[in-house]
Structure 1
Amino acid sequence: MKKLLKSAAMAIVLTAGAFTGAAQAEGEQFVWISHGPDSDSWFNVIKNAIKVTDEQLGTNTEYRNPPTGDLADMARIVQQAVAAGVDGIVLTIADYDVLEGPVKDAVASGIPVVTANSGTIEESKSLGAMLHVGQPEYEAGFGAGERAKAEGVTSFLCVNHYITNPQSVERCRGFADAIGVDLGDQMIDSGMDPSEIANKVKAYLTANPDTGAILTLGPNSAAPSIRAVKDLGLDGAILFGTFDLSPEISEGIKDGTVDFAIDQQPFLQGSIPVQALASYVRYGVAPANSIFTGPGFVTKENIEMVEALAGQYR
């Protein structure tokens, strides 16, 4: 893994411009700001990627997030980073309107910004960021919907545990468009509490017994939804797709409850922005284009290869 990361770091520099001489500085202070609340374990891979990358590049990157997922709090974290005069900022575009002012202020003050994970390339460019590193959410949802359509699915439930993030809705909308139906009320605001998620999924499936598929948007909604499906005796009888990976999702794929997981490779989302900022601050070079890290699909055919890495690198 370390050799691969070093190769990736060198590739970023070499594709952006000539690599000349030793680093001009080390110990740069970066901040990586996510929208994920403390309860969201998915960002553990991001945190691990930051740690590994800092160790290899000699950078100091602080991971920060709003503890409850409050986006106004996230905007204040951006403002605090600008006031502290950090050398670079990475952040998720959880809500463009909320973050626009603070991020544009950062760029205007001369702080380089890379966006990652949530958001679009267009939004990233509009904010003045150097590049965006992540998965195109609508396209990922559309790809999942194509798989569902091929299995004859014409109705579904999208379990959205973070509905305040507009990009989460894009996942559900892409799924609906690929199937060829309106999203309508097929998306529910499940909240983050596991018991509430399971109860809401059970209630929906009971009220809509002809539902052909379930799409969950990450481990927070996937694990309770898996339990709900099993409690109703629908495991293996309803197509189940999810975003991201976790031990519960991996087990669901192996036992046939989950048909596929969409892997957006969060390790790359955590690491590449730090590499790009270090290259820019030290050498004045950066990748010319944004970088897609997904989607990739994990199924029974390849789960054995990736499950051992879940939670750290996948």
Structure 2
Amino acid sequence: MNRLTTLCAGALMLAGSAAMAERYVMITHTQGTDPFWPVVEKGGRDAAAAVGAEFEYNFDASGDMAGMAKLIEAAAASQPDGIVVSLPDAAALGPAIKAAVDAGIPVITMNSGLESSKEVGALMHVGQPERDAGFAAGTRAKAEGVTKGLCLNQEAFNTALVDRCTGYFDAMGAELNQIDVSNDVTQIETRTAAALQADASIDGVLAVGPHVCEAANKAIKSVGATVHLACFDLSPGVMDMIEAGDAAFTIDQQQRLQGYMPIIVLHLYNTNAGLLPGANIPSGPGFVDASNAASVKEQAGINR
């Protein structure tokens, strides 16, 4: 009888522990054809596993901000221990995030929205300063001979991507020359080819997403242009392009950290009386080029 009582008590303790497990929800603004986000999601899942928490990942496949706001509202209604959210459009997403914070749910923004993170009530932000990253890309492109650039933006609503393009042209002392190309790789290729054919003086292209860069490379080859191509983020295809000399470099913002670190910080915040880092966590930018591509290639699309 004593043994049975002990076993039952142990089972109840385990059940109680399981019931008390932390639960975190991550919501991002797109997934679809972009190879960037599965690495972010993996980072979140890895962090949750490391701290013994439950993890949910949601996104609005259309990239619609109203749809994303509803996902944030639904997550808040489920009363998780924390929400991690990308913030491409603070005006559209801010009210839902503020409502979650007002309900006592800690929120960390990541990837996009650094400048608006505090004003929507988030604890902090994990990601790279996007204009600075674009400026670094433009500084290097100019040093490598670019005189007239073109920036390809696949998400016109995303302020972070506009900041990348803006920084690129600010570094070159030129006006913004950006075209919106969507996330459809066929459309990216078509619009890029058309832009290059319309202006033969363009000798530099910045693609602010890895799939965009791969499609841009096809467009450049299809029209026979000689163009300095620079990318943002890593994918196996981008790494192959760098090794082949088709792309000069890519900006690495270490997206696994953008998924991993918010979960770790929320866990520490919830279990250590509000423990927080003293500042936002910059996950980038860093350059990957021919000098170091071999060392990170195997991680592209997995952890980088």
Assess same fold via TM > 0.5: yes
Q: For 1:172-191, what aligned pairs fall within 5 Å after superposition?
A: 172-183=165-176, 186-191=177-182
Do structure 1's residue 134 and structure 2's residue 127 form an aligned pair?
yes
CA contact (8 A) 2:112 2:159 kept: no
Q: Choose from 132, 142, 145 the match for 2:138.
A: 145
Q: C-alpha distance in 2, partners of 1:173/1:163?
A: 13
Q: Deviations over 1:48-107 (max 9, x none)?
A: 112211221101121110021111100001101111111100001110000111111111
Q: Could you tell me which residue of structure 2 aligns to residue 219 of structure 1? A: 210
Q: CA deviation at 1:187?
A: 0.5
TM-score of the pair, normalised by structure 1: 0.89
What is the Cα deviation at residue 230 of structure 1? Answer: 1.7
Amino acid at match of 2:192: V
The answer to whether the Cα contact below 8 Å between 1:265 and 1:293 also exists between their aligned partners in 2 is: yes
Structure 2 unmatched ranges of 5 or more: 1-16
Whether the 8 Å contact between 1:107 and 1:113 is mirrored in structure 2 is yes
CA displacement 1:282-308 (0-9 Å, x = unmatched): 112111210101000000000000010
Look up the match of 1:163. Answer: 156
2:45 is equivalent to residue 54 of structure 1: no
Correspondence for 2:65:
71
Between the aligned partners of 1:195 and 1:124, the Cα distance in structure 2 is: 34
1:283 correspondence with 2:276? no
Which residue does the alignment assign to 1:104?
Answer: 98
User: Once superposed, what is the RMSD of the aligned Cα atoms?
Assistant: 1.4
How far did 1:248 drift? 1.1
Three-state SS of the structure 2 residue aligned to 1:304 is: helix
Give the TM-score taking structure 2 as reference length. 0.91
Q: Secondary structure at the match of 1:64?
A: strand
Aligned 8 A contact 1:26 1:59 in 2: no
**Off by >3 Å, runs of 4+ in structure 1:** none
Question: C-alpha deviations, 1:150-177, integer Å up to 9, x for none?
Answer: 1232211111111111221110000000
Aligned partner of residue 269 in structure 1, secondary structure:
helix
Aligned mates of 2:34, 2:21 — CA distance in 1? 29
Q: Deviations over 1:107-142 (max 9, x none)?
A: 11110010100111x311111111100011000000
* Paired residues for 1:195-214 under 5 Å: 195-214=186-205
Structure 1 counterpart of 2:196, one-letter code: L
In structure 1, distance between residues paired with 2:213 and 2:203: 17
Within 2, Cα distance between the matches of 1:229 and 1:77? 38
For the residues of structure 2 that align with 1:304 and 1:153, how far apart are their CA atoms?
Answer: 25
**Structure 1 unaligned blocks of 5 or more:** 1-22
Larger radius of gyration: 2
Matched residue of 2:258: which SS?
helix
Q: Percent identity?
A: 40
Return 36-45 or 174-183, whichever deviates more.
Answer: 36-45
Give the equivalent residue in structure 2 for 1:253: 242
